[in-house]
Amino acid sequence: MPEPQAVLGGLTESAVFLVVSASGVPGSRARLLDVASSVNDLVRAVGFRQAAAGLTCVVGLGSSFWDAVRPPGAPRPEGLHPFRAVHGAVHDAPSTPGDVLFHVRADRADLTFELTRQLMAALGDAVRVEDHVTGFRYFDSRDLLGFVDGTENPTGRAAVGAAIIPDGPFAGGSHVVVQKYVHDLAAWGALPVEAQERVIGRTKLDDVELPDDVQPPDSHVSLNTIVEEDGTERDVLRDNMAFGDPAAGVLGTYYIAYAADVGVVERMLDRMFVGSPPGRYDRILDVSTPLTGTSFFVPSLDLLESLAADAPDALDAADPGPPPADATPPPAAAPTASPATAPATAAPVGSLAIGSLRGEPS
């Protein structure tokens, strides 16, 4: 199997999530593709200063950008399409634009900062920034809601099976879905711990899944468990990070899920927002609001590094055009509610990282 990008790198102390689109200036697509396909040259140049900190950068390409930069007739990854917005009776997951994702990780924030700075310097006016989030590990891998994040993330061989395409023309590749969630911590904090545990489906202090006989059917755990008819449980590989600006009252979790089959993530989102059965949605969404939603294909390392050389000759003259029809701009973050102005059951701003398909708090 071709060598994957650093998808399996694991949780670090710091991360940057940078989503950009070609700006439309002459040569913008070509420059964006050139920087994306040669990103590991920048990683080596920055990372050698602190090699033990494990600086990596995973690059994902959006659906319309992939079509623009690949030669006519080239094979296309199965399942590559713009993020599909999900509309539930109470909560929605929006679809937002993005040509390329740069997922930067390291155990030092100065390295993730410097690589992002170098990326933006190389890209210049060739891109517009759709989203830029700096994430951090919060205490003992908890999200800002106070629950452990990613308890059931697969490891070892199971992680490879969940995240990496095993064969075919895109072996070694992966799909990745990103969403930025913000939390209403005031409304969440107004709930008793026992009520929070019923929403999540796990105990808060010691991170134990609630017994089956008391597990609510609309808990995060219950609705985010994907089981096939033959009893096989499906997983994705998450690398969620807390982020926030306390002065601005914007606090949340950046959700990122790598999957060999993007349909697994989409089924999970349907269960969360629409419900199973419809109407029995994930109650974490009552204190969690997704602001973005974008989907990308992550080529193998060899394929990534060959993309610029194989691009069509007319790429420089191509106009990126408008975002996909189903892409909507992210709504502005609403101000954090307070217990005096918003009841605990209101649907404010906020989010838990989506969690594993086994339903752990993400």
Which residues are known catalytic residues? 149
Residues 294 and 93: beta-carbon distance below 8 Å: no
Q: Which two tokens stand for residue 328?
A: 């909507």
For the stretch 136-173, what's the b/e string if a residue is b when 16 or more beta carbons lie within 10 angstroms of its beta carbon? ebbeebbbbbbbbbbbbbbeeeebbebbbbeeeebebb
Q: For residue 298, what are the contacts with CB-CB under 8 A and spacing of at least 6?
A: 4, 5, 7, 58, 59, 60, 61, 173, 174, 175, 176, 258
DSSP string, 195-263: HHHHHHTB-TTT--BPPTTT--TTSHHHHTB-B-TTSPBP--EE--EEEEETTTTEEEEEEEEEESSHH
> Percent helix, strand, coil in the chain (nearest 5)?
30, 20, 50
Q: Which two tokens stand for residue 101?
A: 């994702």
Burial class (CB in 10 A: 0-12, 13-18, 19+), 255: buried
d(CA 35, CA 55) in angstroms, rounded, equals 17
Residue 157: half-sphere exposure toward Cβ, Cα within 13 Å: 0
Q: Rg of the chain over CA atoms, in angstroms?
A: 20
Residues 270 and 187: beta-carbon distance below 8 Å: no
For the stretch 4-23, what's the b/e string if a residue is b when 16 or more beta carbons lie within 10 angstroms of its beta carbon? bbbbbbebbbbbbbbbbbbb
